[in-house]
Amino acid sequence: MARKETVNTLVALLATFPIVFFLSLLFEGIDRKIHARMQKRIGPPIIQPFYDFIKLFNKERIVPVTAASGIFTAVPIIAAAVSILGAAIPIANLIAGTSIVGDLILVLYLLVMSSVMVMIGGSSSGNPYGAVGFSRKMTMIIAYEIPMLISIASLSFNPCFSLAYYDIVSTQIRMKSLLVFTRLSMAVAAATFLLCIPAAADVVPFDISEAKTEIIHGSLIEYGGPYLALIKLAKAASNFALTFLAATLFFYLPVLFEGYVSLGLGGALFLCLVTALIFMLFTITVPRTIFARLKIGQAFKFYWLIPLALSMLCVALSIVGL
Amino acid sequence: MADESDDAKEIKADYTRLRVPFGPVHPALKEPISLKVTVRKEEILDVDIRLGHVHRGIEALAENRNLIQTLYLVERICGICPHSHTTCFTQALEEISGINPSERALYLRTLIFELERIHSHLLILGLMSYEIGFDTLFMFCWRVREEVLDLFEGITGNRVHHAMNTIGGVRWDLTPHLVEKVNDSLKKIEKSGKYIYDMFQDKTVEKRLCEVGVLSYNEARELCIVGPSARGSGVSMDVRRDYPYAAYSELKDSFSVVLRDGADAYARTEVRIFELLESINLIRTILDELPNGSISMEESVLKLMRKIPEGETVSMVEAPRGELLYFVKTNGKEGLRRLKVRTPTFINVLGLKPMLIGGEIADIPVTLASIDPCIGCANRITVIDEDKGETRVINSENLRWRGKKQ
């Protein structure tokens, strides 16, 4: 019996990778559709990202003469792999109902890794715009990554939490309450994390590193065909992972339902995905619809003024036990 | 000699400088212009501007055609302000031949002219918001612009190249039904125009436009910058007021010249938004005061064309982008001896250098859009020798010499 369950779990875990692939592209499609509707456009069909992916994959591979070809070609594959892995870990943890201490740090590391990979790919392309994109992305990472990491790390300051993903989810189940409502510090942490998502997802107003009208997509400038498809997949997967993390870490909605057990794993996952979708709407789709792009200095100032201050506040509150 | 080579070495070793090619093909540019920008980190140190990628030889072409054909040819100089070009050209021909179009024709010309100004300004406001990454406003502006294009279609039958002007008048008349339609659309456009103004006062938009691409009053005077770009720097000039043409002398009390002292991209944008609203008022006055009468001469256009004597004149209009100047010299045999077109962008491009230097890379698209460049209008004969990497600009003397040789 136990063995059968183990096999089932294993199959489910293996299935998370295609599921992540499917969900992240689907999320991107929904994002594009809502974005278009908000601009009074019809917009592409929701499965457009799948079409794009397939079409790009069938295109020619072009490596510029000036590029360091080894790095240039390896980088998209690594970026896609790490961000899919980063997105799969939380889902796999939910399915398996267990996790290792420190996996939250691993997930965040994997998500940054995919940005860094794209950045390196841009700088290895030998294009001056790639270099400008590199320096801008580097600045942005310094700006948003610190508050983001602090907000996650501050979870472990609480006595009953650790840096294991499933621990935090199960604590929410035990306390029958969303994490944001348990303590003031957690609400601040959630706010910080959500504020950092637009920068991590590279959307307007923080898409400075790949500003289309300024530096022609920065790091992505020389990429095309299968490489571009992989990078787009990496971005979609990391956006999905970020919103899914926010939805499950701070707002694990299934606990609000009385018969939590009757909801089942499928129901709980579905509810989490819906929450993630709503977060994506408010942290990615809405900002990129209603804002203009900031300049690098302005964005940096914003992140070091508000989210960083918030994350510091969060640490301070955690220490005094609020 | 030794010193020179040392200098060269020093420059070579300055790795902090990066030369970024901006164009001729770039997503921020709707038409090809090439800027070679030298930057240190994000700061712009030097700019080198090159035109000539879309030279079409229209002036030379015009000299081989008759006047009516040229009228439709000059309309093709620009796809955004074709009516300005034809008005300027017909005005010149009418001056040479002494034809006086009827009042109604002049009013209708002015009407299309102002509609064109609205459409052009909406277009650049949209592009401006696109350059700063505000796609929603871009979509909105262009959606409003559709309204104007539909009006063009209703009045003239064409959305872009209206072909409204002809020698001695205009080709299409306004029916009462059309007047009503124009009034309805104007209401919508006015509402949207005010909304666009509100949107441009948004914090993130202001942050991107204020203090960007500053062109002081004196610089604007020295470089003879024209149009909204000049008015944004506080230079009070408007051909409509200074040298009235078409029906503007009768309408001079119905519009005011919008001036701003900000001298930055935001001021230039603001000038455009208010000019748009001014134009709406002006069109309302035109519709109210529209005189009766015929819209064109009784004689056919071909007969009129044959009567045009030899002569030369300069004609000016205030195109949406600024002063547009034509020098027309007819040969008395239905054709032209010389046509010289000076478009506003040709002058305003000069202002780009002082605007850009000292700014950031992020400001290049904004600054470029703020002068509302129409590159297709501004290209002159430039020979680019790809093999040698040389660029030669052929001036008039050189041209004359080439002409003699043939």
- The 10s digit of each residue's pLDDT in A200-227 is 888 888 888 777 777 778 788 888 889 9
Judge whether residue A51 has pLDDT over 90. yes
B133 torsion bin: left (phi>0), alpha (psi -120 to 50), beta (else)? left
CB-nearest to B360 from A128, A212, A295 is A295
Minimum Cα–Cα distance from B141: chain A residue? A39
- Whether A215 contacts chain B with CB within 8 A: yes
pLDDT tens digit string along A259-281?
A: 556 667 777 888 888 889 999 99
Contact A212 B27 (CB under 8 A): yes
Whole-angstrom Cα distance, residue B206 to residue B224? 27
What's the residue count for chain B? 406
Contact A212 B131 (CB under 8 A): no
pLDDT tens digit string along B133-178?
A: 888 888 889 989 998 999 999 888 888 888 888 888 888 888 888 8
- Whether B55 contacts chain A with CB within 8 A: no
On whether residue B117 sits in a domain, the answer given is: yes
Find out whether A190 and A179 touch, Cβ atoms under 8 Å. Answer: yes
A216 vs B contacts (CB less than 8 Å):
26-27
Quickly count: other Cβ atoms within 10 Å of residue A9's Cβ.
15
Distance from CA of B264 to the nearest CA of A (A): 17
Full DSSP string of A95-107: HHT---TTHHHHH
B316 torsion bin: left (phi>0), alpha (psi -120 to 50), beta (else)? beta
Find out whether B163 and B72 touch, Cβ atoms under 8 Å. Answer: yes
- Whether B333 contacts chain A with CB within 8 A: no
Using the Cα atoms of residue B27, residue B32, residue B35 and residue B36 in order, give the sign of their dihedral: positive
Minimum Cα–Cα distance from B20: chain A residue? A128
Distance from CA of B228 to the nearest CA of A (A): 23
Distance of alpha carbon B37 from the chain centroid = 24
**Strands B322-331, B336-342: parallel, antiparallel or unpaired by DSSP?**
antiparallel
Contact B208 A38 (CB under 8 A): no
Three-state secondary structure call for residue A191: helix
HEC secondary structure over chain B: CHHHHHHHHHHHCCCCEEEEEECCCCCCCCCCCEEEEEEECCEEEEEEEECCCCCCCHHHHHCCCEHHHHHHHHHCCCCCCHHHHHHHHHHHHHHHHCCCCCHHHHHHHHHHHHHHHHHHHHHHHHHHHHHCCCHHHHHHHHHHHHHHHHHHHHHHCCCCCCCCEECCEECCCCCHHHHHHHHHHHHHHHHHHHHHHHHHCCHHHHHHHCCCCCCCHHHHHHCCCCHHHHHCCCCCCCHHHHCCCCCCCCCCCCCCCCCCCCCCHHHHHHHHHHHHHHHHHHHHHHHHHCCCCCCCCCCCHHHHHHHCCEEEEEEEEEECCEEEEEEEEEECCCEEEEEEEECHHHHHHHHHHHHHCCCEHHHHHHHHHHCCCCHHHHCCCEEEECCCCEEEECCHHHHHHHHHHC
Q: What are phi and psi of B275, to 5 degrees?
A: -65, -35
Residue whose entry in the numeric block shows the structure tokens 């949406």: B320
Say which CATH number the domain at B196 has: 1.10.645.10
Minimum Cα–Cα distance from B206: chain A residue? A292
Q: In the numeric block, which tokens belong to residue A49?
A: 């990202």
Minimum Cα–Cα distance from A208: chain B residue? B362
Q: On the CB side of B147, how many CA atoms lie within 13 Å of its CA?
A: 22
Find out whether B68 and B167 touch, Cβ atoms under 8 Å. Answer: yes
Distance of alpha carbon B88 from the chain centroid = 13
**What pLDDT is attached to residue B261?**
86
Quickly count: other Cβ atoms within 10 Å of residue A254's Cβ.
21
Whole-angstrom Cα distance, residue B1 to residue A54? 60
On whether residue B304 sits in a domain, the answer given is: yes
B30 vs A contacts (CB less than 8 Å):
none
Q: Which of B62, B313, B68 is nearest to B167 (CA)?
A: B68
Which of B:18-47 have CB within 8 Å of A? 18-21, 26-28, 39, 41-42
What's the residue count for chain A? 322
Output the tens digit of pLDDT for each of chain B's 406 residues. Answer: 444 445 554 545 455 677 777 777 777 677 777 788 887 777 888 888 877 777 778 888 888 888 888 888 888 888 888 899 899 999 898 888 888 888 888 898 899 989 999 999 999 888 888 888 888 888 889 989 998 999 999 888 888 888 888 888 888 888 888 888 899 999 999 999 888 888 888 777 887 788 888 888 888 888 888 888 888 888 888 888 888 888 888 888 888 888 888 888 888 888 999 999 989 989 989 888 888 888 888 888 888 888 888 888 999 988 888 888 889 888 888 888 888 888 888 888 888 888 888 887 778 888 888 887 776 666 554 444 444 555 555 555 555 555 555 4
List of residues 6+ apart from A296 with CB closer than 8 A: A136, A139, A140, A208, B42, B362
Query: What pTM, to 2 d.p., does this model score?
Result: 0.80
B21 vs A contacts (CB less than 8 Å):
128
Quickly count: other Cβ atoms within 10 Å of residue B98's Cβ.
10
Q: Which of A283, A191, A294 is nearest to A242 (CA)?
A: A283
- Check residues A278 and A184 and name the one with the higher pLDDT: A278
Judge whether residue A189 has pLDDT over 80. yes
- Whether A292 contacts chain B with CB within 8 A: yes
- Whether A40 contacts chain B with CB within 8 A: yes
B358 torsion bin: left (phi>0), alpha (psi -120 to 50), beta (else)? left
Name the residue range of residue B236's domain.
59-343
- Whether B142 contacts chain A with CB within 8 A: no
Distance from CA of A43 to the nearest CA of B (A): 12
pLDDT tens digit string along A81-135?
A: 999 988 988 888 888 777 777 788 888 889 889 889 988 888 888 787 888 888 8
* Band (A34; pLDDT cuts 50, 70, 90): very high
What percentage of chain A exceeds 70 in pLDDT? 96
Contact B207 A298 (CB under 8 A): yes
Contact A214 B28 (CB under 8 A): yes
- Whether A132 contacts chain B with CB within 8 A: yes
Contact B133 A132 (CB under 8 A): no
Count of domains for chain A:
1
ipTM: 0.76
List of residues 6+ apart from A191 with CB closer than 8 A: A310
CB-nearest to B362 from A40, A211, A288 is A211
Whole-angstrom Cα distance, residue B184 to residue A249? 53
Count of domains for chain B:
1
Quickly count: other Cβ atoms within 10 Å of residue A232's Cβ.
21
Per-residue pLDDT averaged across A216-239, rounded? Answer: 88
Name the residue range of residue A248's domain.
2-320
First to last CA, chain B: 44
Distance from CA of A26 to the nearest CA of B (A): 22
**What pLDDT is attached to residue A2?**
60
- Whether A138 contacts chain B with CB within 8 A: no
Find out whether B322 and B226 touch, Cβ atoms under 8 Å. Answer: yes
Q: On the CB side of A203, how many CA atoms lie within 13 Å of its CA?
A: 26
- Whether B399 contacts chain A with CB within 8 A: no
Find out whether B329 and B312 touch, Cβ atoms under 8 Å. Answer: yes
Minimum Cα–Cα distance from B39: chain A residue? A132
CA distances from B106 to B65, B90, B131, B176, B326 (A): 26, 12, 37, 18, 19
What percentage of chain B exceeds 70 in pLDDT? 87
On whether residue B303 sits in a domain, the answer given is: yes
Three-state secondary structure call for residue A126: coil
Contact A135 B131 (CB under 8 A): no
Per-residue pLDDT averaged across A233-241, rounded? Answer: 91
Q: Per-residue b/e over B355-378, b at no fewer than 16 CB within 10 Å?
A: bbeebbbbbbbbbbbbbbbbbbbb
Contact A128 B361 (CB under 8 A): no
A44-53 long-range contacts, CB within 8 A, separation 24+:
A49/A25, A49/A232, A49/A236, A50/A25, A52/A229, A52/A232, A53/A25, A53/A229, A53/A232, A53/A233
Whole-angstrom Cα distance, residue A152 to residue A301? 21
Judge whether residue A79 has pLDDT over 60. yes
Distance from CA of A286 to the nearest CA of B (A): 11
**What pLDDT is attached to residue A214?**
73
Whole-angstrom Cα distance, residue B198 to residue B158? 32
Of A46-55, A172-181, B158-167, B267-276, the least confident: A172-181
Q: At what angle do helices A128-153 and A296-305 cross, to 10 degrees?
A: 10
CA distances from B53 to A87, B21, B25 (A): 47, 15, 10
Q: In the numeric block, which tokens belong to residue B302?
A: 């071909």
CB-nearest to A214 from B137, B207, B365 is B365
Minimum Cα–Cα distance from A37: chain B residue? B136
